A and B are shown apart, each in its own frame.
Chain A
């Protein structure tokens, strides 16, 4: 197997991920807001764009020198700028993941997976949601499972994150037939069926940005 050379996940890697994420969310803001219109309150794209652009500016001014530090700082800025449910949920995801990484200067795909797992557990705990509730977890949980499988198969960081991105995108698409049980879409009952969840969609974009960052680093 011609595994690509592994790029370490260090502070610089996650700062590049933040930059890519802010760019992607800026580009996709209108689509996220459109997804949020029929089953939410038409603001998911605007809020995510505002939060990630603010985090890029703030964290870029005084960049932490560990990957854990970068994630924790981004999480804190999201909590302070996004509002709504997305701010605390994405903020908690990244803060928990950052804390899990501790002071390590660089980690591999396995440690990154463990950190993301801790972050996703934090999201589930805070929001009280489970798989199938038509939330961001429906993109994140399949992404973690895909990382497990790819790691077990000895995949490189890029391969592991590519698998995660693919699973997250499929998971987001698979929310369309689901009936929402959490968040504002849940008020619609059966009428939430037939719409892709905006939170799962933004989660898939953020995981895809991780894969893109890894691919560029190893190119």
Chain B
């Protein structure tokens, strides 16, 4: 649910990083925060536990600057991945314009990936959002780990709909901006 403010000539879009716990959602935002031009981003807010697990969300506003007279801004959110935080996850999805699903490539996390993907579709349905029209991209994270599953196997299990997909090692920054670029462009296209 993007907002166009004709008075202040601003366009605001909400992007949400979704996925299983410890999959690398916060790491994506931290890398973006570190690497994007400081003049274009706001404060990175993390509502986390003392153990640095996301409790409610992380939030990072990134400004694209003025494009043909309109200031364009993306609000990046993560959700808490742990299963029992579903009420919080659902709240963050309110008004979402685009989703990055961050999957964990390790075989022992496959069930968590599948459960989280189901949970995403359920929560979208609660708001009446249609996952066939909402921009969603998939990021296969932790590709650097020696036990990372082959992409074909991950794809078969969690990407039967052939969503745009990217390989990443978020901790090194690899694939982070490719993913962000793809979802941002899809979101703006969906508004056109």
Q: Is B truly associated with A?
A: no
Question: Interface on B for A, CB 8 Å cutoff?
Answer: none
